[in-house]
Structure 1
Amino acid sequence: MAPKKRQLPGVDEKLQKLLDANMDEAPARRRAREAFKEIQLGIDHILFKTPTDGLKMEESYEVNSRGLKIFCKSWLPATSRPKAIVCYCHGYGDTCTFFFEGIARKLSSNGYGVFAMDYPGFGLSEGLHGHIPSFDRLVDDVIEHYSKVKEQPELRELPTFLFGQSLGGAVALKAHLKQPSAWNGAILVAPMCKISEDMVPPWILTQILIGVAKFLPKKKLVPQKNLAEAAFKDLKKREMTAYNVISYKDKPRLQTAIEMLRTTEEIERRLEEVSLPLLILHGEADIVTDPSVSKALYEKASSSDKKLILYMDAWHSLLEGESDAMINQVFSDILSWLNEHSEKLTGS
């Protein structure tokens, strides 16, 4: 069954045509994003209220060692040296060009250099939309990109932090497990250390899907609840997810679902190996990723410097889908942790 057509209020026929186009390949996604860029930034969401004065923002495409064209973006304070650099790992189906735009502006206006990329197959990067043929390879692509960022002469001496949301939390943890001493810390927002039981198909169906994936890895066959409905508590903000026009909204592809399941199983087994300074933030009422595994990560990680904050009654999208007061609280917790750790490392 084809996914429901996206309908956005006040969108003319020409723009609707871009929305209805097949977005399997990057050129269609790039056209849609270009057409909707200003509309997105104009929506009435607290994330887009941060002024951009004093920020230097750049977008580019870089071809990685696998020959894939990767979309990258940076936000830097225009007139001062950043306190530290924050490298972002986005969530499943997402991009760094919509809600994260607002998150990055807020971090950058508080003195941080923020760098982000769309994974292959997501957002504006090359690759079949929503397809993760190998989670390990995706993590290697992320490590490759951020290693280049950190090698820039003007950034080389600065503290470096990973920032992962949801599936991006799993990407950040895997990057750390592959390079245990490469980062000065990680901020994990509702990390995907385990997919909530509510979101996973029954065991027998999972086994069948694993078998079918060997022959049809790209097929969109995995049953899934509506992610926006499960993740965004605030109804008005939930409606705004429709403006994330290049997010992947179809059923998960078979190989993607299997890679996510295998990755969470691996991370759950290796929690004790996590050794870097950690800030873990999770909504207690999250039914997308399991908050009990964030508690287990906090308890089992061998890091001597770790902090877990659980937000009562909050859902999955802590920085995008909660009340303005809750979003401000989560930001305040992130910034105070970043400030404390940056100062400790730079002595300023």
Structure 2
Amino acid sequence: MPADGDAPAPAVHFWGDHPATESDYYAAHGAEGEPSYFTTPDEGARRLFTRAWRPRAPARPKALVFMVHGYGNDISWTFQSTAVFLARSGFACFAADLPGHGRSHGLRAFVPDLDAAVADLLAFFRAVRAREEHAGLPCFLFGESMGGAICLLIHLRTPPEEWAGAVLVAPMCRISDRIRPPWPLPEILTFVARFAPTAAIVPTADLIEKSVKVPAKRVIAARNPVRYNGRPRLGTVVELLRATDELAKRLGEVTIPFLVVHGSADEVTDPEVSRALYEAAASKDKTIKIYDGMLHSLLFGELDENIERVRGDILAWLNEKCTLSTSLQRDITVE
């Protein structure tokens, strides 16, 4: 027991102290999984902290879902709630902490080269899908916020047949004019970043306050022991501006089937940008859902009934695509 005046010990898990272990929590929700590390195969040999969540054995998953978290976040706190939901619904999910995030290598929240981060994630995803037990399973991308932008970059850098589809949750696929630094600030930031790329000096609003609607859930989000709470680093901001500018120019090249979900009241990423993606994408199979009054954290920070609604839409979309993929494979086999 803490002495009078001492702060209580922080919770080990986002769900609290019970169940006491991750495996018990997974089992209680009809899933199983484990953490691990992945070492990239290139000359740099960077280590990524990874997690897997699967349907409980002996069930075979319907598909593989490769998940990417957002800026400053990680895969070990509230992000797990969606992965566990999908696992108990029949999908095997895999994710890695981005470089500079969570328990992966690198200076906290420093992402000077998003293309390198994309390459690291892609190496991990391809290593997972190459396993014998995953042969023939459709593969989906799933990204939240900055992770949505990364999913689109992965799609644009890989053969179209590699992915059965993508779920984009409040994606940062272009910096909105509403929040983009006005000219000439981007040019100034780019110049200064050449000399001090790791400097954490870019002013920003409290993302938890702007993202999470339910006050009690803001407290839980803030307790994340590996969440980055500092100001954005110059090099990271400049790289995000560069990468999202690239995406903005290439939205018409997007051909992957996708579902994009966004809250109409999101102040972190702009729902109008998601509408622009939907309108510009060349994808023949595309769906957009804008939820009235919801904020950025659609899958944790909202009222429970709102979360159930968004989860239900995502699950229905994934199940539909799995059915289509199975039918297509059956037709090919018959031919």
**TM above 0.5:** yes
Q: Partner of 2:36 in structure 1? A: 60
Q: What TM-score do you get using the length of structure 2 for normalisation? A: 0.89
Residue pairs, 1:20-31, within 5 angstroms: none
Q: 1:146 aligns with which of 122, 125, 132?
A: 125
1:249 shift after superposition: 1.0
Q: 2:198 aligns with which of 218, 221, 224?
A: 218
Q: Partner of 2:62 in structure 1? A: 83
Aligned pair 1:42/2:23, yes or no?
A: no
Residue pairs, 1:128-139, within 5 angstroms: 128-139=107-118
Q: CA RMSD in A?
A: 2.0
1:342 shift after superposition: 0.6
Residue pairs, 1:270-289, within 5 angstroms: 270-289=250-269
> Does the CA contact (< 8 Å) of 1:195 and 1:288 recur in 2?
no
Q: 1:155 aligns with which of 115, 134, 144?
A: 134
Q: Partner of 1:33 in structure 2? A: none
> Does the CA contact (< 8 Å) of 1:200 and 1:224 recur in 2?
no
SS of residue paired to 2:296: coil
Q: Which amino acid aligns with 1:41?
A: W
Q: 1:264 aligns with which of 207, 231, 244?
A: 244
Residue pairs, 1:83-232, within 5 angstroms: 83-181=62-160, 182-232=162-212
Q: Distance in 1 between matches of 2:183 and 2:74?
A: 30
Q: Structure 1 residues 315 and 50, CA, compared in 2 at 3 Å: closer, same or farther?
A: farther
> Does the CA contact (< 8 Å) of 2:208 and 2:222 recur in 1?
no
Q: Distance in 1 between matches of 2:28 and 2:58?
A: 13
> Does the CA contact (< 8 Å) of 1:43 and 1:240 recur in 2?
no
Q: Partner of 2:3 in structure 1? A: none
SS of residue paired to 1:188: strand
> Does the CA contact (< 8 Å) of 1:57 and 1:75 recur in 2?
yes
SS of residue paired to 2:120: helix
SS of residue paired to 2:240: helix
Q: Structure 1 residues 104 and 58, CA, compared in 2 at 3 Å: closer, same or farther?
A: same
SS of residue paired to 2:12: helix
Q: Distance in 2 between matches of 1:43 and 1:291?
A: 36
Q: Distance in 2 between matches of 1:196 and 1:225?
A: 15
Deviations 1:289-335 (A, max 9, x none): 11111111111111111000000111111111111111000000000
> Does the CA contact (< 8 Å) of 2:29 and 2:84 recur in 1?
no
Fraction of identical pairs, as percent? 42
1:179 shift after superposition: 0.5
Q: Distance in 1 between matches of 2:99 and 2:173?
A: 21
> Does the CA contact (< 8 Å) of 1:198 and 1:287 recur in 2?
no
1:57 shift after superposition: 0.6
Q: Distance in 2 between matches of 1:196 and 1:235?
A: 26
Q: What TM-score do you get using the length of structure 1 for normalisation? A: 0.86
> Does the CA contact (< 8 Å) of 1:288 and 1:316 recur in 2?
yes
Q: 1:297 aligns with which of 258, 277, 298?
A: 277
Q: Partner of 2:227 in structure 1? A: 247
Q: Distance in 1 between matches of 2:206 and 2:159?
A: 35
SS of residue paired to 2:50: strand
1:52 shift after superposition: 3.4
Larger CA deviation: 195-204 vs 136-145: 195-204
Q: Which amino acid aligns with 1:346?
A: T
> Does the CA contact (< 8 Å) of 2:176 and 2:273 recur in 1?
no
Ranges in structure 1 where 5+ consecutive residues have no aligned partner: 1-8, 16-35
Ranges in structure 2 where 5+ consecutive residues have no aligned partner: 1-5, 19-23, 331-335
Q: Distance in 2 between matches of 1:148 and 1:67?
A: 15
> Does the CA contact (< 8 Å) of 2:26 and 2:33 recur in 1?
no
